[in-house]
Chain A
Amino acid sequence: MSRPGRDDSPDRLYTLTGGRTGTGPDNPFDLVTLVVAESEPAPGMQSEHAAILRLAVLPTAVVELAAELRLPVSIVKVLLCDLLAAGRVSARHPQKAAVYDPDILEQVLVGLRNL
């Protein structure tokens, strides 16, 4: 677990969020929520916020943002809530039941059975 050099930033996670970890029950974010930036990074912004806005120029999932930022998802959610409250990002849940062509699904089924 202890990997020297792994902790290679002086930022502690609690300083990124001001000590918050939870985002409340009305938090719209889960792992796969798609996030789209609504504005450019502004100067003086927290660098993580700016990074999120840059990454989410195209719709990006929360978990991807977390991976890119190398931050725990919960922390990213807090950051995203801040941005959402400021109107700088918008969030949308991915469509779950994407309707596919039954032919393809059938072929997938056949293919899987053949594996």
Chain B
Amino acid sequence: MTAPTPRGERPTVRTLVPLPALTAVVSVAAVAGAVAAAPASVRAPLAWGGALAAVVLVAAVFWAVRAAQSARLARRALDTAAQDAGRHLQERDRLLREAQRERQHLIDELARQRAEFTAVLADEQARLEGAGATERDRLAGENARLARELERATRARDAAVSATANAAGRMQALTTAMLADLRAMEERHTDEEVLADLLHLDHRTAQAGRLADSVAVLTGSRSGRRWARPIAMESILRGAMGRISAYRRVRVHATSETAVAGHAAEGVMHALAELLDNAANFSPPTSEVHVYVEEVPAGVIVSVEDSGLVMGEVQLRRAEQAVSGDISELGGLTGTRLGLAVVGRLSGKYGLKVSFRPSARGGTGVLMLIPQEVLTAAAAASAQPAGPPPKDDDRAGRRTAPAEPAPSAAAPEEAARAAHPGTPDGSDGDTAEHPVAGLPKRRRGRTLAAAERARGTARTPETREPAGAEEVKVRAARFGSFRQAVRAAGADHAAAPDEQRGPDHAAPTEHAAPAGRAAHRPAAEGAGDTPAAPADPQPHPYAHPEGDTTS
């Protein structure tokens, strides 16, 4: 950096002019003098030479002055520059020192702060560790307390569930016994009003039994009853209907011949009852609930359709979830909504699949698939007590009985034992109905049929009036043999002839009167086994046994 040239040091015309001007003046004067002094002949060249010399002199002087001035100015600028350089050097040293000092200061500061932070951090860490340990201890204590509490709660829950299950089991037993009692009473009392009351009680008891079953299922114990034999689908449906209050509104459309295996029958009935109850409760009290049974390769589908409220998506999903069997806990149960949870439990147990969908009837439809595993063939269902097929077998057995060889000695006694406890209305007919080989049996309806036919051909009783003397004799002979048989039987069987099953009672006891039996058997069989002989004009003496019992 060059220092600015001072104003007075610039070589100006003013400083350059005076000395050359003086030189010019002196030179002019000298030349003029020389010219004036010199002869005229040399004056002109001398003038010209002198003028030229003067001009050169002036120019030289001017150049010299100017050079001297420039040298002076340059020296001065050099001095200024040297001074600036020194100043700048000093400045740089100063700045360097300052920077060094500053750096040192910062380093010190950093170290100090680091130490400070380290200390704070250590403190904080220690404090947090302490707090953490305290907290951990507290949480461990809390955890232990909660664990104890949970254990206590679990024990309490188990105890409660077990007590509930126990109570439910006892209620189930009571209900079952009560239903059996009611059934027995229903068979004893023939008065319609009494029967209506008994049926009412029966219905109420069945509903109570369902509730007890529900509680039992939810507490993990078993359903109320075990059936030893397969239960026909019709009975399953009716058993389910009988356990709900609004069973009169249920319409069953079923032709299925399948049966549900005994071990699963109660569960299926119970689940169906819950579904029916739901359907009946959530539909108008005047509408009907329709039940359809359909056999599919996977089993049997029972669909329950109501025309009540349509379930929304959310409700459908919730219901599906409730019956999917996923819910293993009792949480979320409310006292009034046990049904679906029960269905879920039973579904899980017996492999039932339950699904909900909107029904074409306007309400909700429930499909329950009973899997093939718990179904049995229809033939097994024929063990149903009220079912006629066994009776047909019995009848066949009896029909062939007389053709068999003479019965062993034990058979009549057995028959006697079997026949005696039988109540007149045949309600205890389990044993009495059993085919007993070799004994003459009255076939239901046969004699009546013969009588009907006889009447059909004879039209009026009057035509029978003129019976031949031969016929009268035959009848008398029959009666005589009958009387003989009765006498042989002893006094306690004196009433036997009044009994419509007289031969049944009398025959086993009349060991010594084969003739009586022989006389009777053709009589009994003659009317029964020859239905193809409608021309028989003679009404059998036993043709109207019922007619005599009316009073």
Contact = CB atoms under 8 A, between A and B. Distances in A.
Interface stretch (B86-94, B241-249, B399-407): B241-249
Interface stretch (B38-46, B116-124, B136-144, B471-479): B471-479
A84 interface: no
Given A10-B235, A47-B232, 14 more contacts: A2-B181, A12-B179, A12-B202, A12-B238, A13-B199, A15-B241, A48-B386, A54-B388, A59-B445, A59-B448, A67-B426, A98-B543, A99-B461, A111-B480
A3 B546 contact: no
B392 to A, nearest CB: 8
B487 to A, nearest CB: 8
Contacts of A69: 386
A44 B255 contact: yes
B313 interface: no
A47 B385 CA distance: 11
A47 B386 contact: yes
Interface residues of A, number: 64
Secondary structure type dominating chain B contacts? helix
Contacts, number: 192
Given A6-B183, A67-B427, A73-B425, A96 B449 contact: no
Interface string B430-472: 0000000000000011101100100000000100110100001
Interface range, B side: 35 or more
A12 B448 contact: no
Max chain A CB contacts within 10 Å: which of B236, B425, B467?
A: B425
Given A32-B547, A95-B547, A114-B483, A74 B195 contact: yes
Contacts of B541: 104
Nearest to B183: A7
B112 interface: no
B238 A108 contact: no
Contacts of A32: 546-547, 549-550
Interface stretch (B4-12, B58-66, B185-193, B502-510): B185-193
Interface of B: 176-177, 179-181, 183-187, 190, 192-193, 195-196, 199, 202-203, 206, 227, 231-232, 234-236, 238-239, 241-242, 247-248, 253-255, 265-266, 269, 384-388, 391-392, 425-427, 429, 444-446, 448-449, 452, 461, 464-465, 467, 472, 475-476, 479-480, 483, 486-487, 494, 539, 541, 543-544, 546-547, 549-550
A114 B480 CA distance: 12
